[in-house]
């Protein structure tokens, strides 16, 4: 029976993991005849099905004021408590309005009950669900206990009650096995595993693209350069220094390391350190975030701005030396675009992804000559390269395609509604 689905998060806009995975869920739900509606502080969805509440965005000034006074300290003042409650009460009323306006049957909360970047929104959602017992699926991408910056805080009561709440009317969904165990141990809450997915049933088009045909030239690469793409934000947990070391050890002046994203919300010291390290190593490092955006357009100087997906078809190799990931979308993207990838054996990859049978050069926290030789073979041996990327695509199509998500969502909705 078709349902009216209300997605809720701090934002559904851009290319962050939550926004991208939510769009995939909505597409699969549409295939199952369900309709989706969107609530958030920043939205790029169809205005006809959107309910934008600026106060729900994590960068809203009031929420930033609260965050400055609850993280990195162990006590909070009565004023902070009052302002958390006041904003939560307002947001709860907007959730009631959203559900009423679109006659929502089921809520799907995307990470807003998981990582406490917006505590009042989490409190509002927990109270709303306690008051209404509305069917709800909570999709958890990364929990607060997985992030060091949330380890010292003045809100253990809110974290315990709302991130996530112990509401047994809810269906909890996580993206890796470790999260199932931690959620059970910390909260006594069972969860369903649904990994991130890609549309492997429909391979990317290989036809010429008039807009993106000049990506290499626009980014400052020569036609015979080897483009090694690091398709992530510049934050320490991405381990980008290992990508620099790999390029240095390849000892090939044609190898250029291209970083697609900017530093984000964790400061710029790491960015400066990478630039200094690349200079000392003699590695040609290109920061191209000003030429990569959520959509294609021309900048103020008339230069083309590309999407990340415009860059992938032009890359020779993907580096993904992350120290920690909740899942690993960049790995799946590399497999989807049929580009070889070298990565670090972060814990979720080791436990959840690698056992599926993928083939890739995998480092154990540092680059070795073995890794360098494997990468050289992938770059130089066309037949071997093709066999690896074809093998990985077949594995991914089996375990991480939309069909996996389709089966999972059908089961979740049946569980929560009792309807087929």
Q: How far apart are CA 10 and CA 117, in angstroms?
A: 9
**How confident is the model over 371-376, as a mean pLDDT?**
97
List CB contacts of 221: < 8 A, sequence separation 6 or more.
227, 256, 258, 286
Q: Please give the CATH superfamily to which domain 215-399 belongs.
A: Glycogen Phosphorylase B; (3.40.50.2000)
In the chain, where the domains are located: 4-197+402-417, 215-399
- Smallest CA-to-CA distance from 183 within 158, 197, 166 is with 166
Q: How many residues does the chain have?
A: 420
**pLDDT over 70, % of the chain:** 98
| DSSP, residue by residue, 258-301 | EE-S--TTS-SHHHHHHHHHHHHHT--EEE-GGGB-SS-EE-TT
* CATH number, domain 4-197+402-417: 3.40.50.2000
Bridge partner list, 171? 137
Band of pLDDT at residue 17, cut at 50, 70 and 90? confident
pLDDT tens by residue, 304-331: 999 999 999 999 999 999 998 888 889 9
**pLDDT per residue as tens digits for the range 162-193:** 999 998 789 999 999 999 999 999 999 999 99
Q: Do domains 4-197+402-417 and 215-399 have the same CATH topology?
A: yes
Res. 15: pLDDT tops 80: no
Q: Is 243 helix (H, G, I), strand (E, B) or coil?
A: helix
The pLDDT of residue 294 is 83
* Mean predicted confidence (pLDDT) in 388-400: 97
Pairwise CA distance, residues 71 & 64, whole Å: 11
Q: What sign for the dihedral angle of Cα 140, 18, 336, 260?
A: negative
CA nearest neighbour of 264 among 41, 58, 7: 58
pLDDT given for residue 150 in this prediction: 95
pLDDT band at 264 (very low <50, low <70, confident <90, very high): low
Taking each helix axis from N to C terminus, what angle separates 17-31 and 402-417, rounded to the nearest 10 degrees?
70
Q: What is the pLDDT of residues 268-302, one digit of tens each?
A: 899 999 999 999 999 999 999 999 988 899 999 99
pLDDT in tens, 191-228: 999 999 999 999 887 656 789 999 999 999 999 999 99
Which residues, in sequence order, are CB contacts of 321 under 8 Å at separation 6+?
238, 239, 240, 242, 243, 246, 342, 343, 344, 363
> Residue 10 and residue 55: Cα distance in Å, rounded?
9
Residues of the chain with pLDDT > 90: what percent?
86
Residue 193's region, left for phi above 0, alpha for psi from -120 to 50, else beta, is: beta
Task: Work out the mean pLDDT of the chain and round it to a whole number.
Answer: 94
| pLDDT for position 419 | 72
pTM (predicted TM-score):
0.89
CA 233 to chain centre: 11
What is the residue whose two structure tokens read 């965005």? Answer: 57
| Confidence band of 148 (pLDDT split at 50, 70, 90) | confident
């Amino acid at each position: 029976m078709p349902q009216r689905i209300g997605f809720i998060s701090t934002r559904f806009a851009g290319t962050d993991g939550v926004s991208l995975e939510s769009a995939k869920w909505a597409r699969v739900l549409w295939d199952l005849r369900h309709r989706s509606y969107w609530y958030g502080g920043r939205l790029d969805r169809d205005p006809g099905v959107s309910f934008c509440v600026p106060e729900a965005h994590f960068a809203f000034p009031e929420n930033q004021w609260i965050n400055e006074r609850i993280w990195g300290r162990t006590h909070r003042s009565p004023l902070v408590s009052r302002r958390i409650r006041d904003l939560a009460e307002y947001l709860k009323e907007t959730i009631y309005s959203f559900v009423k306006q679109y006659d929502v049957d089921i809520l799907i909360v995307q990470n807003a009950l998981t990582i406490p970047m917006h505590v009042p929104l989490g409190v509002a959602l927990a109270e709303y669900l306690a008051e209404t017992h509305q069917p709800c699926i909570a999709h958890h991408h990364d929990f607060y206990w997985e992030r060091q910056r949330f380890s010292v805080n003045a809100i253990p009561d809110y974290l315990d009650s709302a991130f996530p709440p112990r509401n047994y009317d809810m269906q909890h969904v996580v993206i890796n096995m470790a999260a199932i165990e931690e959620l059970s141990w910390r909260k006594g809450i069972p969860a369903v595993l649904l990994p991130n997915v890609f549309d492997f049933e429909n391979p990317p088009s290989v036809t010429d693209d008039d807009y993106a045909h000049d990506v290499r030239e626009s980014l400052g690469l020569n036609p015979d350069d080897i483009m090694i793409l690091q398709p992530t934000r510049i934050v320490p947990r991405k381990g980008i220094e290992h990508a620099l070391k790999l390029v240095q050890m390849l000892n090939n002046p044609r190898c250029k390391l291209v970083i697609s994203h900017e530093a984000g919300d964790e400061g710029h010291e790491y960015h400066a350190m990478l630039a200094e390290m690349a200079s000392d190593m003699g590695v040609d490092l290109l920061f191209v975030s000003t030429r990569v955006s959520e959509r294609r357009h021309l900048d103020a100087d008339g230069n083309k701005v590309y999407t990340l997906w415009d860059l992938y078809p032009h890359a020779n190799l993907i580096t993904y030396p992350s120290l920690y990931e909740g899942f690993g979308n960049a790995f799946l993207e590399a497999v989807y675009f049929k580009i070889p990838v070298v990565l670090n054996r972060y814990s979720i990859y080791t436990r959840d992804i690698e056992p599926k049978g993928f083939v890739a050069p995998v480092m154990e926290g540092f680059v070795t000559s073995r890794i360098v030789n494997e990468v050289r073979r992938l770059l130089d041996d066309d037949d071997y390269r093709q066999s690896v990327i074809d093998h990985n695509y077949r594995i991914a199509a089996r375990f991480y395609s939309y069909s996996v998500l389709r089966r999972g969502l059908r089961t979740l909705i049946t569980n929560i509604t009792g309807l087929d």
